[in-house]
């Protein structure tokens, strides 16, 4: 089986159809497919973009038909939490409705304003998306293949790593092992910045945690080496012993594909011989990117395909 792994779409249906076409998928009876190939979507179908309903319709029809697989992104997880309350507390959604959370989700809410039943159906479908996929020959997860976290999630479901009610409620209690596991796997492994250092994220929010390059093999020596994105003012700052940031790297046989990191390079490149990120910021003027996997254990740069 060949896999075509596809990064974060965020409602950009034009690039999605153009990329599927470029990969050779054709619409038959309304569903994109290509014999001998399975598409693997890495999550983050919704929010930000101009055509979220159409994007969901294409992705879901392919998954239902069997021409694609999909994992859950942090935007789908957040949508489930935004629209679900704890039992007995109907007015307290699992994700608080702050301005920041509404802003992140507003395009989806707008598009589905007049399609409430359809939106509820998609929320139920999100709940059935695996949190990560181990296909034997390759692995797919939205942000990080972090074994200790995956082990925590595996306890909840022996049938595909689904967000069960029990896991959902545990994972939305800040500080619980399940909360941290979901954070690591679908939002990215983060560290606190040293001292009073902060940075401003792409939405203009000031943060004091940063995502780290979990796939790195060597133990890192400066914060500039380990954080995403690289920051000049952190580049020379040595990692403190107290932080004890050590990277086991990723060395398993099966390559891992992730989305999530809003990469900005004009030419996609592997992160390591075993890890590739396919999020090249289509929702910010970048590209929708796929990787055509043909059986290789060591990933290669000429297997990336851009939507234009
Ligand atoms: Mn994401």
Q: Distance, CA 277 to ligand 1 centroid (Å)?
A: 11
pLDDT of residue 220: 65
CA of 8 to the centre of ligand 1 (A): 7
Please tell me the distance from the alpha carbon of residue 141 to that of residue 130, in angstroms, as a whole number: 9
CA of 26 to the centre of ligand 1 (A): 27
Q: What is the pLDDT of residue 189?
A: 87
**Ligand 1 centre distance from Cα of residue 6 (Å):** 13
Ligand 1 center to 279 CA (angstroms): 9
- CA 29 – ligand 1 centroid, Å: 31
CA of 291 to the centre of ligand 1 (A): 18
Q: How far is the CA of 28 from the centre of ligand 1 (A)?
A: 30
Point out the residues of the chain with pLDDT beneath 50.
Answer: 244-246
Q: Tell me, in angstroms, the distance from the centre of ligand 1 to residue 129's CA.
A: 15
What is the structure's pLDDT at 245?
Answer: 47
CA of 51 to the centre of ligand 1 (A): 17
pTM: 0.92
Separation of alpha carbons 171 and 99, rounded Å:
22
Tokens standing for residue 26 = 């054709």
What does the pLDDT read at residue 195? 73
Q: Tell the CATH topology of 2-184+253-306.
A: Purple Acid Phosphatase; chain A, domain 2 (3.60.21)
Distance 241 CA to ligand 1 centre (A): 30
Q: How far apart are CA 144 and CA 223, in angstroms?
A: 19
Contact 61, 53 (CB under 8 A): no
Residues with CB under 5 A from ligand 1 (ion): 44, 73-74, 260
How far away, in angstroms, is 278 Cα from ligand 1 center?
11
**Residue 197 CB-density burial (10 A; 0-12 exposed, 13-18 middle, 19+ buried):** middle
For residue 229, say if its preceding peptide bond is cis, omega within 30 degrees of 0.
yes
Rounded-to-integer distance, Cα 289 and Cα 16, Å: 9
Write a three-state SS string for the chain.
CEEEEECCCCCCHHHHHHHHHHHCCEEECCEEECCCEEEEECCCCCCCCCCHHHHHHHHHHHHHHCCEEECCCHHHHHHHHHCCECCCCCCCECCCCCHHHHHHHHHHHHHCCCCHHHHHHHHHHHHHCCCEEECCCCEEECCCCCHHHHHHHHCCCCCCCCCCHHHHHHHCCCCCHHHHHHHHHHHCCEEECCCCCCEECCCCCEECEEEECCCCCCCCCEHHHHEECCCHHHHCCECCHHHCCCCCCCCCCCCEEECCCCCCCCCCCCCECCEEECEEEHHHCCEEEEEEECCCCCCCHHHEEECC
- Report pLDDT for 249: 74
**Which two structure tokens, joined as six digits, stand for 219?**
């133990």
If you measure from the C-alpha of residue 33 to the centroid of ligand 1, how many angstroms do you get, rounded to a whole number?
25
* CA distances in angstroms from 94 to 30, 101, 119, 170, 267, listed in the order given: 36, 12, 17, 11, 39
* pLDDT for the residue numbered 64: 98
Domain ranges of the chain: 2-184+253-306
Distance (Å) from CA 276 to ligand 1 centroid:
15
Q: Give the phi and the psi of residue 58 in degrees, each rounded to 5.
A: -65, -50
Residue 187 CA to ligand 1 centre (angstroms) = 6
């Amino acid at each position: 089986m060949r896999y075509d792994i596809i990064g974060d779409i965020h409602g950009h249906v034009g690039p999605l159809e153009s990329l599927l076409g470029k990969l050779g998928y054709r619409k038959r009876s309304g569903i994109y497919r290509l014999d001998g190939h399975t598409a693997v979507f890495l999550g983050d179908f919704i929010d930000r973009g101009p055509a979220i309903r159409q994007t969901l319709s294409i992705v879901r029809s392919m998954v239902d038909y069997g021409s694609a697989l999909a994992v859950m992104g942090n935007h789908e997880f957040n949508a489930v939490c935004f629209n679900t309350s704890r039992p007995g507390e109907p007015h307290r959604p699992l994700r608080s409705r702050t301005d920041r959370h509404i802003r992140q989700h507003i395009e989806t809410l707008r598009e589905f304003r007049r399609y409430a039943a359809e939106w509820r159906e998609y929320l139920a479908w999100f709940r059935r998306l695996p949190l990560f996929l181990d296909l034997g020959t390759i692995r797919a997860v939205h942000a990080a293949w972090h074994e200790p976290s995956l082990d925590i999630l595996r306890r909840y479901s022996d049938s595909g790593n689904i967000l069960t009610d029990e896991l959902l409620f545990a994972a939305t209690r800040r500080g619980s092992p399940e909360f941290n596991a979901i954070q690591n796997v679908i939002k990215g492994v983060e560290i606190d910045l040293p001292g009073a250092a902060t940075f401003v994220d792409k939405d203009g929010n000031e943060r004091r945690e940063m995502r780290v390059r979990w796939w790195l093999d060597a133990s890192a020596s400066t914060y500039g080496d380990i954080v995403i994105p690289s920051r000049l003012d952190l580049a020379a700052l040595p990692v403190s012993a107290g932080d004890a940031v050590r990277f086991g790297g990723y060395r398993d046989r099966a390559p891992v594909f992730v989305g999530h990191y809003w990469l900005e390079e004009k030419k996609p490149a592997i992160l390591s011989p075993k890890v590739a990120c396919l999020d090249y910021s289509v929702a910010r003027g970048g590209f929708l990117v796929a990787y055509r996997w043909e059986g290789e254990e060591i990933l290669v740069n000429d297997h990336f395909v851009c939507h234009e």
